[in-house]
Amino acid sequence: MAAYKGYEPVIGVEVHCELKTASKVFCSCSAAFGNAPNTACCPVCMGLPGALPQLNAEAVRLTIQAGLALHCDIRRTAWFDRKNYFYPDLPKGYQITQNDTPFCTGGYVTIYNKEEKRIHLQRIHLEEDAGKLLHRDGVTCMDYNRCGVGLIEIVTEPELSDPAEVKEYLTGLRQILLFAGVSDCRMNEGSMRCEVNLSVRPVGSTTRGVRCEIKNIGSIQFAAKAAEEEFHRQADILAAGGVIEQETRRFNENTGKTETMRKKESAVDYRYFTEPNIPPVHLSEAYIEKIQRQMPKSVAAWREELHNMYGLNAEDAALVMQTPNIVQFYTEAAAKTKYPKLAANLLIGEVIPQIKEGDPVPVQAGHLAEAADLLGDGEVNSTVAKQLVGRALRGESPAAVAKAEGLFRIRDEESLLPLVKDAIAADPRSVGDFLKGKTAAKKRLLGGVIRQSGGRADPAITEALLDRELALLSDED
């Protein structure tokens, strides 16, 4: 629980996610990211007179899928509403959304902030996205490709009580949506966006203060930072005897502070009314059950599998579960090696940093397993194992490379003994120290052998040989 100047924050989060549908939610235009500006538009998503929207069934299915993944209740009969406002990113002059009948209500995300906590959801509703404004060189360009892309809005209860929980919540939510196949959740491309609502109250109080809403948050880290800054700003004002005005603020990434966008007095009246061009939607029990049956494997199920079958702790599991692709790859590799934990370490340290978001894992599962086996069996040291994974990234087999380039650990006495003898001959001072009882001097001799072998001498076997040779010397004394 965060506390500052005797105050604590009360936080609610709103998240918008673009659905992973091929086409938009009320017309057949492409919903893909990155089309040339204004090339994916039609009379429907531009709101030209007489054009009629038609609901995309796949968008409904993904909304329900999100609701099921988040343990929500699914509404059987729902309709759409118009939210009217004027802004250049909205050529229609209104947004089709669900004000009165969100498809999903309730539900929760479990987070871990020292202890387990459920963040409850108020609602998930389906709506359409607006266009994108690009401000540059003193002009503003409008790109309407995003108008009408299917969007879900996920709203929490005001239950988060620490900026750290904002980060945990967003990370957990993003992972669940990603694994449910609902959205690609890319904050940098705007397919996942969040707003933080925050008020403060005296520690221990159960009342709620006046809240501010913070928009324009570009990453999960920034969301936590924005919450922290806003918490301190409000607490400072109250501690100095001031009052909080309800307002919409924006997060400034350059200053790391929040700043005023608009005050409550300028709040718009959206004049909501039922969208007349889309009939109410009725969802049958069978339809919902079918979606439930076909759900991709959940985050919780993956986590359990990683723990039960491969012994990964929560921390490693989280790192391996960055995307469904990566965890799928990991389980393929883990099934092929005697050392799944080592395979996880190599994957996390050497492979994941090389994966471009959304791309397949650039290594063969069999190759990662080979490297883990070589390392686990003591055939190569960990530096070499990492290098071998680097070669596997170029399509080469770790076992073949190790063999061709003689990278195996040296473990036979025949090869090691000369190195040990050389090290003893080369460092009489350490030998002298050792014989005088300074046992630490042995470490220097051992280090000499390992260096001389290019890091390949097996440390345990080398040390045993070193002990034997030194014992012979001390007998001579």
Candidate residues 2, 13, 15, 29; the one interacting with Zn ion per rule CB under 5 A? 29
Per the structure block, which two tokens stand in for 59?
Answer: 């968008």
Place of tokens 């042995």: 442
Q: Which of residues 404-463 bind Zn ion (CB under 5 A)?
A: none
Restricting to residues 136-155, which ones interact with ligand ADP according to CB under 6 A? Answer: 155
Quote the tokens at residue 109: 């995300």
- Does 253 bind ligand ADP (CB under 6 A)? Our answer is no
- Of the candidates 3, 42, 261, 295, which one interacts with Zn ion according to CB under 5 A? 42
Site string for ligand ADP, 186-205 (x = CB under 6 A): -----------xxx------
Min dist CB 191 to ligand ADP, Å, is: 20
* CA–CA distance, 231 with 216 (Å, rounded to integer): 17
**Contact partner at residue 158 from Zn ion, ligand ADP, none, CB < 5 to 8 Å by partner kind:** ligand ADP
> Is 211 among the residues that bind ligand ADP (CB under 6 A)?
yes
| Range list of H helices, 405-452 | 413-426, 428-435, 441-452
Query: Of 40-48, 83-91, 154-162, 421-429, which part binds Zn ion (CB under 5 A)?
Result: 40-48
And the tokens for 253? 């990434």
CB nearer to Zn ion: pick between 44 and 238: 44
d(CA 66, CA 123): 11
What is the rounded distance in angstroms from the CA atom of residue 92 to the CA atom of residue 442? 80
- 95 touches ligand ADP by CB under 6 A: no
Q: Which is nearer to ligand ADP, 20 or 211 (CB)?
A: 211
Least Å distance, CB 2 to ligand ADP, is: 14
Q: How many residues bind ligand ADP (CB under 6 A)?
A: 14
Residue 42, contacted partner among Zn ion, ligand ADP, none, CB below 5-8 A by kind: Zn ion
Paired tokens of 199: 């008020």
323-345 per-residue burial string, b: 16 or more CB within 10 A, e: under 16:
bbebbebbbebbebbebbbbbbb
Q: Which is closer to Zn ion, CB of 56 or CB of 199?
A: 56
Q: Where are the beta strands (DSSP E) in 223-372?
A: 247-252, 257-263, 273-274, 281-282
Among positions 2, 15, 27, 192, the unique one binding Zn ion when judged by CB under 5 A = 27
Please provide the DSSP assignment of 43-82 as one string.
Answer: HHHHT-TT------HHHHHHHHHHHHHTT-EE-SEE--EE
Among 25, 45, 346, 470, binds Zn ion (CB under 5 A): 45
Nearer to Zn ion, 45 or 320 (CB): 45
DSSP codes of every residue in 127-170: EE---EEEEETTEEEEE-TTTT-EEEEEEE-S-B-SHHHHHHHH
Q: Which residues bind ligand ADP (CB under 6 A)?
A: 10-14, 155-158, 197-199, 208, 211
Question: Which parts of this chain interact with Zn ion (CB under 5 A)?
Answer: 27, 29, 42, 44-45
